[in-house]
């Protein structure tokens, strides 16, 4: 697949799947397939595993290998498969990807490092350059780390200087940076969003796709939103926006993956746990989520 073909395919709704942990915090073998089938049937254009919604930060090496292999196998080439990396060093990123040799990985979604210490701009460029040179897999930057938050200038510089970095996912609720990226990015760059509360305006200003918790929780409805905006049906788009916004408001950020799993469960999927110390969904949260989800389900 050429770079242009890949950029064309990595658009639209790209859900970051949740991890199927049991009550003891163990990864349930085979627990990803039903969820992946659910989001692909809903119209998803790709599958992301190992992102923040997928609690990628808590996976040890063996679990990372298991989850990536199961997710890739369940995706079965129906849509592109994106592997998420939330690690602390260039070396760890490269080693994790090399353990997945033989998998059909369309791209890597890579956060900047996220511990206390922050590399400067040159070191950050080199970080992404070394990952791509060692893996030869296209990279999407996941710009979400508050204390290592990449500026628009730096993201554009990385995409210019490291051809293997084909795009980025702007998160943190920062629609202004998303707009600036769309204004200044080159045609070859992908600009994706992780901004759940503002999917409608993001699609309306031309973002290429979304990788967010809501795309995993209610993929069919986010796909409908995307299609409505593409068709200039802004009445439908605004209606869906406010319903999705209400659902988003019902889910706490502190235990968001657990909330997403509960929303999925209300639509027929098995109920899996978040890994401790993340809190389970409280009874108050359940009531709020049910009330916000009902208008979407009709």
Sheet with 107-110, strands from edge to edge, namely 12-13, 209-210, 190-193, 165-170, 139-143, 107-110, 81-85, 47-49
Q: What is the pLDDT of residue 103?
A: 97
Q: b/e string for 36-69 if b means 16 or more Cβ within 10 A?
A: bebbbebbbbbbbbbbbbbbbebbeeebbeebbb
Q: What average pLDDT score do residues 263-270 get?
A: 98
| Predicted confidence (pLDDT) at residue 124 exceeds the cutoff of 90 | yes
What the block records as the tokens of 208 is 């290429």
pLDDT of 214 over the 80 cut = yes
Q: Give tens-digit pLDDT for 66-111.
A: 999 999 999 999 999 999 999 999 999 999 999 999 999 999 999 9
Predicted confidence (pLDDT) per residue in 157-187, tens digit: 999 999 999 999 999 999 999 999 999 999 9
pLDDT at 61 over 80: yes
* Domain architecture of the chain: domains with CATH: 3-231 (3.20.20.70)
Q: Output the pLDDT for position 3.
A: 66
Q: Return mean pLDDT, the chain.
A: 96
C-alpha triplet 233, 38, 207: angle, nearest 5°? 40
Helix (H) or strand (E) holding 156: helix 152-161
**DSSP letter, residue 141:** E
User: What pTM value is reported for the model?
Assistant: 0.96
Question: Are 186 and 210 a contacting pair, CB within 8 Å?
Answer: no
Q: What pLDDT is recorded for position 268?
A: 98
pLDDT at 1: 59
pLDDT band at 13 (very low <50, low <70, confident <90, very high): very high
- Structural contact between residues 291 and 266, judged by C-beta atoms closer than 8 angstroms: no
**What mean pLDDT do residues 1-16 have?**
85
Confidence of residue 2 (pLDDT cuts 50, 70, 90): low
Predicted pLDDT of residue 144: 95
Average pLDDT over residues 4-20: 92
> For residue 96, what pLDDT is reported?
97
> Stretch 258-278: mean pLDDT, rounded?
98
What's the rounded mean pLDDT across residues 269-286? 97
- What confidence tens digit (pLDDT) does each residue in 215-259 have? 999 999 999 999 999 999 999 999 999 999 999 999 999 999 999
Place of tokens 């290998």: 65
What percent of the chain stands above pLDDT 90?
96
């Amino acid at each position: 697949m050429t770079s242009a073909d890949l950029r064309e395919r990595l658009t639209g709704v790209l859900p970051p799947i949740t991890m199927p942990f049991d009550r003891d915090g163990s990864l349930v073998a085979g627990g990803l397939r039903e969820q992946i089938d659910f989001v692909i049937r809903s119209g998803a254009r790709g599958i992301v595993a190992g992102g923040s919604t997928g609690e990628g930060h808590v996976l040890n090496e063996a679990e990372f290998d298991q989850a990536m292999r199961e997710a890739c196998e369940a995706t079965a080439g129906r849509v592109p498969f994106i592997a998420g990396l939330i690690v602390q060093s260039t070396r760890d990123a490269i080693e994790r990807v090399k353990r997945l040799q033989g998998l059909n990985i369309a791209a890597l979604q890579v956060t900047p490092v996220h511990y206390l210490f922050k590399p400067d701009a040159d070191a950050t460029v080199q970080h992404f350059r070394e990952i791509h040179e060692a893996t030869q897999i296209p990279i999407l930057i996941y710009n979400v780390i508050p204390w290592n938050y990449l500026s628009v200038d730096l993201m554009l510089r990385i995409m210019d200087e490291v051809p293997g970095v084909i795009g980025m996912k702007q998160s943190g609720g920062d629609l202004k940076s998303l707009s600036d990226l769309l204004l200044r990015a080159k045609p070859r760059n992908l600009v994706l969003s992780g901004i759940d509360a503002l999917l409608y305006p993001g699609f309306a200003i031309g973002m290429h796709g979304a990788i967010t918790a809501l795309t995993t929780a209610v993929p069919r409805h986010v796909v409908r939103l995307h299609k409505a905006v593409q068709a200039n049906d802004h009445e439908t788009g605004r209606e869906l926006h406010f319903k999705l916004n209400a659902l988003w408001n019902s889910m706490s950020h502190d235990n968001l993956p657990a909330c997403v799993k509960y929303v999925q469960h209300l639509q027929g999927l098995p109920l899996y746990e978040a890994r401790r110390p993340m809190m389970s969904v409280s009874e108050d949260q359940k009531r709020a989520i049910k009330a916000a989800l009902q208008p979407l389900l009709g």
